[in-house]
Structure 1
């Protein structure tokens, strides 16, 4: 059996790599520092070494130099978050066999390149040992998105920075939870919760990229929408529950009056963007101990949904521009959004042949009303 030595001071990551190797019929030996690795090499025949660079005490560079002094032929590769050219050159000068960047760091670096207008950036698929995971799906969607952006020059000025922001937020969540999981003080129960959050966030990120691509294609008449009949009442509740931690933290009172079993024929993923953005706005602009009201009812051949808050409200001038891309009427809340959400809402509303109305009074609150005509609400593939 092939013996692989994994040297990484981040315990959780070390365990993940070793577990993955073992599942694929390799004998993996994990060490948290270079000194332990030397002992393992002395007592065992090692066929391959995978080492991190940033480690306390003896770092990866010094470890690689020592390995080459011991055995010039043993395969040695770096698996690290460092993606700068200097580190790569230094690594290869020590005669390492390969230099791999950790996947989350690769995605973050690629995101930064897109922010800077480089649409030629692509991320190599992981496909580790011929198997795919959630990160492979994210990478595929990221590469497809980059290709779409590269083919439409006009999107460079008003779309890229916002898409990149939307991507960076969930990636940061994944990175933060990964760091918490690597803390030795983290309990098994907490690790399980963090792992679940990482999985859910990666799924949300994949869905986000897919929906952005859908909207981009819609504007260029390149998509066939995935329409089906579903329970809108349940969807409104499910989306609302995603904001439970926010309303509890701000002690916001929720008043829900949703008619049961309202059925809608539409693209479920796109309509969820409407409710998520309208809910997000309502909770964002409602002060502590405020109130948010959600109503939905059928009326003749219409379904009418209203989401109200008693927050800061907006002026008539702001209301005229609220659906424009990147427009933010209240700059005091600018850090909580990017001005893209309501533009996405309006675009989807137009696609659905629906209507959206705003009633707002400065200092008193805002109501968004969505009116779905069940006769007109037939979304044609274009």
Structure 2
């Protein structure tokens, strides 16, 4: 979309309520007043009583006032209110990260008014923002992809060093290298995964499977962590709950939510996993007794690279919950969070029993 030239902007109508409209109103009111005078003269000739001479003009002007009010209301709604409402909805979509928004023009190119120009500038801004977002995602994906090979070499040599005889200091260095490369590998994996999900390059592979069994396997995968931190585990779920979803992607959801729960729960705390079914959905709750979150942190927890508690920044990369949200959006699911600082958090995932995945509908 091209920006308007100076000459085009100079030709834009500066008012959406032209002077001709008010002239029409003036003429109509003059005509109506003339008709009113005619009514008075007619009733006088017909020798109507005084009450009728008062009531009829009042009813006449009431009808006129109602007509003009309705016409003005409709004109204002079509000309100003509806375009502004459209603009407000589009702005909200952009604020939520949707850069595919487009507001269609209201008039032809030679009859633009200042609202048309505002919409055109808005569309241009969104287009530029979308281009920047695409460039940013492509840059992150390309850099991450290029880092995979040298990172694999470092990891391989670090693993080879671990098999040789080393001093305690050397072992400490090797462990630091291994830990750093593992965190970097996790970051690269998450960036590439999230980029593919956002650009819809991953095909959903929905299948019917037992969610309860998957949840059991996921929580057992953290057994060493809960034993090390002496965390109490509480599990409550049905014997079986069959859903239709992409099993591999849903495993990413549960692993991220449980990983966060164990990460932020202090030694001696408790993590609970609850699953139950309602009429049209399966609900999973992951609750912890960790540090909790403030309302300011809750607003940003699903943002990429955001980490509210920096004391655990070396244990993650701020992409886990962004991945969770995108996967659930693709799977027609939802996630909500409630948290109290110092008491813990509850993440609630709701999945429809009969899913209509985004992948099925859009063939991504």
TM-score after normalising by structure 1: 0.49
Cα distance between partner residues in 2 of 1:332 and 1:321: 17
If asked which structure has higher relative contact order (CA below 8 Å, sep 6+), I would say 2
- Structure 1 residue 268, shift from structure 2 partner: 0.9
Q: Which residue of 1 aligns with 2:213?
A: 234
Cα RMSD for the two superposed structures: 3.5
- After TM superposition, the structure 1 = structure 2 runs for residues 1-382 of structure 1, keeping only pairs within 5 Å, are 153-155=135-137, 176-183=158-165, 209=189, 213=192, 215-379=194-358, 380=360, 381-382=363-364
C-alpha contact (below 8 Å) 2:244/2:354 kept by paired residues: no
Structure 1 CA distance for aligned equivalents of residues 313 and 146 of structure 2: 16
Q: What number of residue pairs does the alignment pair up?
A: 213
Cα gap change, 1:376 to 1:175, in 2 (>3 Å): same
Q: Over residues 277-325 of structure 1, what are the superposed CA-to-partner deviations in whole Å (9 max), with x where a residue is unaligned?
A: 0001000100000000001111112100000000100001100110000
Contact 1:265 1:378 in 2 (8 A): no
Query: Structure 1 pair 160/256, CA: closer, same or farther in 2 (3 Å)?
Result: farther
> Do the aligned residues in 1 keep the contact of 2:232 with 2:271 (CA within 8 Å)?
yes
Structure 2: distance between partners of 1:242 and 1:330: 24
Partner of 1:335, secondary structure, is: helix
Q: Quote the residue 2:11 is aligned against.
A: none
Tell me how far apart the structure 1 counterparts of residues 209 and 281 of structure 2 sit (CA, whole Å). Answer: 16
Structure with the larger helix share: 2
> Structure 1's 161 and 222: CA in aligned 2 closer, same or farther, altered over 3 A?
closer
Query: Per the alignment, do residues 166 and 342 of structure 1 end up closer, same or farther by CA in structure 2, a change over 3 Å counting?
Result: farther
2-structure distance, mates of 1:326, 1:314:
17
The structural deviation recorded for 1:180 is: 3.2
Distance 2:165 2:315 in 1: 29
Query: What is the CA distance between 1:378 and its match in structure 2?
Result: 3.4
Q: Any unmatched runs of 5+ in structure 2? A: 1-133, 168-177
Deviations 1:94-115 (A, max 9, x none): xxxxxxxxxxxxxxxxxxxxxx
In the alignment, the residues of structure 1 paired with residue 233 and residue 154 of structure 2 have an alpha-carbon distance, to the nearest angstrom, of 30
- The alpha-carbon deviation at position 373 of structure 1 amounts to 1.4
SS at match of 1:251: coil
**Structure 1 pair 293–161 and aligned structure 2 pair: CA distance change class (3 A):** farther
1:155 CA displacement: 1.6
- Higher fraction of strand: 1
Summarize the Cα distance change of 1:314–1:158 in structure 2 as closer, same or farther, 3 Å threshold.
farther
Contact 1:265 1:377 in 2 (8 A): no
CA contact (8 A) 1:162 1:340 kept: no
In our comparison, the structure showing a higher alpha carbon Rg is: 2
- In the TM superposition, residue 374 of structure 1 has moved relative to its aligned partner by 1.6
Distance in 2 separating the partners of 1:264 and 1:247: 28
Question: Does structure 2 retain, via aligned residues, the 8 Å contact 1:302–1:374?
Answer: yes
- CA distance in 2 between partners of 1:321 and 1:167 (Å): 33
- Return the TM-score normalized by structure 2: 0.51
